[in-house]
Amino acid sequence: MKKIKVNLQENSYPIFIGSGVFSNLLELIKEKKLNRNIFIITDKNVDKHYKLNIESVFKNYEYKLNKFVIKAGEESKCAEVLNRIYANLLLKNYGRDTLIIALGGGVVGDLAGYAAATFMRGVQFVQVPTTLLAAVDSSVGGKTGINFEKTKNIIGAFYQPKFVIIDANFIKTLNRSEIICGIGEIVKYAFLADENFYNYARKNIHKIFEGDEKVIEKLIYESVKIKAGVVEIDEKESGLRKILNLGHTFAHAYESILEYKIKHGEAVIAGLSAAIILANKIGIMNDKNYNEYIEFVHSIKITKSILNLDKEKLYAAMLKDKKNREGRIKFVLPKKIGNIIVDIEIEKSDVIYALSHNEILFEQDKLKNKNSIKKNSISLKNPCKDEIKI
């Protein structure tokens, strides 16, 4: 079992990573002297797959224990479900000495975290992420919250867990598109990190689909290390943490225009591609890097189309993003691996250009897949410069 410590001014916490570490949950709770009255929040899919594991971990548990199972999916991250959680906690006489365990993906983590942050002005909370996205992203950093009236994550709190357990075995029951969601964030970390991790990710990321435990653990560990390092420096997103939004300005616009029918991680992949195009267009990324990065990002095949979207509407969605102020869009763009620029304001025409040419690249991917043409015989048009061969 590997351990990463998130060092914060207050409420530092450890993250335990390994295959099978979920079975150590109670031991860790005891070791950390956490509350014993446990309220597990999970969703139907996770419960279906891991009911027996949960029962085995809590076999003969002597203290108060309840499991609250929500419907799987983003719709559950709402005030109605949150209210049901509060009502259930009260009904079962939970008090200040409660420990809420979030066992699930980002939806469960965000919702359970916010319930923990607010019930009785805050009770203890442990995160057990079960999706790749939750493992490398949402379970680390303390952002919790719910959606409200069609606006995502608009109500929430920064609230840190007591610890996080990332069991790589959970990844094995995820379907392909859920894995791609996590990969989107891992690819992002590869750009934020250094050449070592970038090269490792580039070479090995596809082995996640084969269930290669060693690769999965390493990619999770390195990704979490980066996120934890950034969160340590900037817990409340006032500076450095903005680099975690690489690709996300575009991604949020794709999600919004597609009415969230595209998964976040897939939108992040499309967003990273657009950010790379934009960085090359405005001259902060050279052509050699551009070609290599685009090839890497497009090697992850997304399942939802971003073709034929209205570019003006996408631009308008970016302006509305809650991270932007005073009608200005602040972009986070990569110069090269480990060299990210934040808060850049860009001419609208360049943004539209990036959106249009992103579409061209994804259209070419689609054709390539459809015609099953051999990879090395395809000519990908570099939207910014000359034709390139891949």
Query: At closest approach, how far in Å is the CB of 268 from ligand NAD?
Result: 9
Indicate the Cα dihedral angle 115, 119, 123, 129, nearest 10°: -10
224 contacts ligand NAD (rule: CB under 6 A): no
Burial of 270 (0-12, 13-18, 19+ CB in 10 A): buried
Q: Does 73 bind ligand NAD (CB under 6 A)?
A: yes
Token pair of 387, please? Answer: 């034709």
Query: Which C-beta is closer to ligand NAD: that of 129 or that of 383?
Result: 129
**Which of 35, 37, 45, 118 lies at the binding interface for ligand NAD (CB under 6 A)?**
45
Among 153, 305, 324, 364, binds ligand NAD (CB under 6 A): 153
> What is the per-residue DSSP string for 104-124?
ESHHHHHHHHHHHHHGGG--E
248 is catalytic: yes
Task: Compute the distance between CA of residue 330 and CA of residue 241 in angstroms, rounded to an integer.
Answer: 14
The residue from 36, 74, 148, 352 that contacts ligand NAD (CB under 6 A) is 74
- Catalytic site includes residue 176: no
User: What is the pairing mode between strands 379-381 and 98-104?
Assistant: unpaired
CB of 157 to ligand NAD, least distance (A): 11
Distance CA 312, CA 314 (A): 5
**Of positions 104, 161, 271, 334, contacts ligand NAD by CB under 6 A:** 104
- Under rule CB under 6 A, residue 17 binds ligand NAD: no
CA distance 173 to 17: 17
Phi, psi dihedral angles at 232 (to 5 degrees): -60, -40
Report the DSSP beta bridge partners of residue 15. 4, 164
- Judge whether 224 and 324 are in contact, CB under 8 Å: no
The correct pick among 49, 64, 67, 202 for binding ligand NAD (CB under 6 A) is 49
161 binds ligand NAD per the rule CB under 6 A: no
Q: Tell me if 99 sits within 8 A of 38, measured CB to CB.
A: yes
* 165 near ligand NAD (CB under 6 A): no
Tell me whether residue 84 is one of the annotated catalytic residues.
no
The stretch near ligand NAD (CB under 6 A) out of 55-63, 82-90, 128-136, 332-340 is 128-136
In the complex, the residues that contact ligand NAD under the rule CB under 6 A are: 43, 45-46, 49, 72-74, 77, 104-108, 110, 130-131, 133-134, 137-138, 141, 143, 152-153, 170, 173-174, 178, 181, 264
Q: Which residues are catalytic?
A: 121, 143, 185, 227, 237, 241, 245, 248, 252, 264
